[in-house]
Amino acid sequence: MTSDKIQRVGVIGAGIMGSGIAEVSARAHVDVLVFEKTRELAAAGRARILRSLDRGVSTGKITEREREQAAWRLRFTSDLEDFADRQLVVEAVVEDEKTKAEIFTELDKVVTDPNAVLASNTSSIPIMKLGIATTAPERVIGMHFFNPVPVLPLVEVVTTLKTGRAVSQRAESFASDILGKQVVRSSDRAGFIANALLVPYLLSAVRMVESGFATKEDVDKAMVLGCAHPMGPLELTDLVGLDTVKSIADSMYDEFKEPLYSAPPLLLRMVEAGLVGKKSGAGFYEYA
Ligand code: CAA
């Protein structure tokens, strides 16, 4: 008989978000299998997680022994078939509906447990669009984490018109009881709760800089010193990734047709130029 408690997790994608989700799961004593397309991407993902675990040790959040044990619980694969025994899979690939839908179609075939949870960490794509890529949309749900995942305590749980009640309970209980995160529940609308509020703010900051209204440094300083935000909107756009902010804006614009959600030309040009933020070494600011 299989235990109801989720002990075997799969994470698809070892980018910033996938690595973070894999790390917090491994730190929570869960067996974690991470999918990446190539050995090189897997190696980069593992290195990112190990750096973060080291940071956890140096900031006193975990012990050396916890870091070692977490590292042991992480395995990587380039074969989705290896996900057959997973009880929960969190997809965290690029913010592209077609790519995500193809992964859900594959997961639907591979993951055998009818009670398994198939979750997407999408920042904005309506979850139903991924549910319909499977034969069992009741297994599909949104579990949206925040960057940096080891630091930020929130998970937005997004249920669709078809998500099963047992599936949403399992997802919530995994996030709160196992990972120790706080859960908020959102309707299945592009952007969910946090990004529906955050992204128009980030886009407004880009527009301010674009129009010459204020410098990027002053926009950021205003929000850090005047509103006690941990970082200003342009630095945060760099952290999230300009490409990701654009994709979220596009999904929300597609859904609501609000000018507030349309990506400003400066953002588009920077994405085209490859200036996508911290992960690429440069965005609004430069990173060593
Ligand atoms: N593991 C565990 N803990 C860690 C850690 C790690 N790898 N790295 C840092 N920490 C802890 C530190 O110990 C510290 O904890 P205390 O406050 O208890 O001392 C805390 O995290 C902050 O770390 P630092 O002091 O090193 O860093 P900082 O003060 O410069 O903060 C930051 C950095 C956490 C990124 C902060 O600037 C911040 O929260 N920025 C805003 C981030 C944000 O808004 N993210 C959401 C983006 S939107 C999103 O993600 C959703 C989407 O779909 C786009």
In the set 19, 36, 95, 144, the catalytic residue is 144
Query: Separation of 147 CA from ligand 1 center, angstroms?
Result: 8
Q: Which of 189, 194, 191 minimizes the C-alpha distance to 152?
A: 194
Mean pLDDT of 245-255: 96
Domains of the chain listed by start with CATH number: 8-186 (3.40.50.720), 195-279 (1.10.1040.10)
Residues found in the chain: 288
Dmax (CA) of the chain: 64
| Catalytic site includes residue 144 | yes
Q: Which of 2, 155, 18 minimizes the C-alpha distance to 10?
A: 18
Strand stretches in the chain, DSSP E: 8-12, 31-35, 74-77, 88-91, 117-120, 140-145, 154-158, 182-186
Query: Separation of 266 CA from ligand 1 center, angstroms?
Result: 27
Contact at 8 Å (CB) between 192 and 158?
yes
What are the tokens at 3? 């235990």
Quick one: pLDDT at residue 120? 98
Contact at 8 Å (CB) between 252 and 124?
yes
Query: Separation of 118 CA from ligand 1 center, angstroms?
Result: 27
Element (H, E) at 270: helix 265-272
Q: Name the percent of the chain lying above pLDDT 90.
A: 97
| Catalytic site includes residue 124 | no
Sign of the Cα pseudo-torsion (22, 26, 30, 35, in order): positive
Query: Does the model's ipTM exceed the 0.90 cut?
Result: yes
Pocket of ligand 1 (CB under 6 A): 52, 55-56, 59, 61, 123, 146-148, 150-152, 195, 198, 230-231, 236, 240, 244
Q: What is the mean pLDDT of the chain?
A: 96
Q: Is the pLDDT of residue 137 over 60?
A: yes
What are the tokens at 34? 């991470």
Predicted structure pTM score: 0.95
Whole-number Å distance between alpha carbons of 216 and 46: 34
* 200-221 pLDDT, tens digit each: 999 999 999 999 999 999 999 9
- Of the pLDDT bands very low, low, confident and very high (cuts 50, 70, 90), residue 4 is confident
- Of the pLDDT bands very low, low, confident and very high (cuts 50, 70, 90), residue 61 is very high
Q: Is the pLDDT of residue 3 over 60?
A: no
For ligand 1, atom 26: residue with the closest CA: 59
| Catalytic site includes residue 115 | no
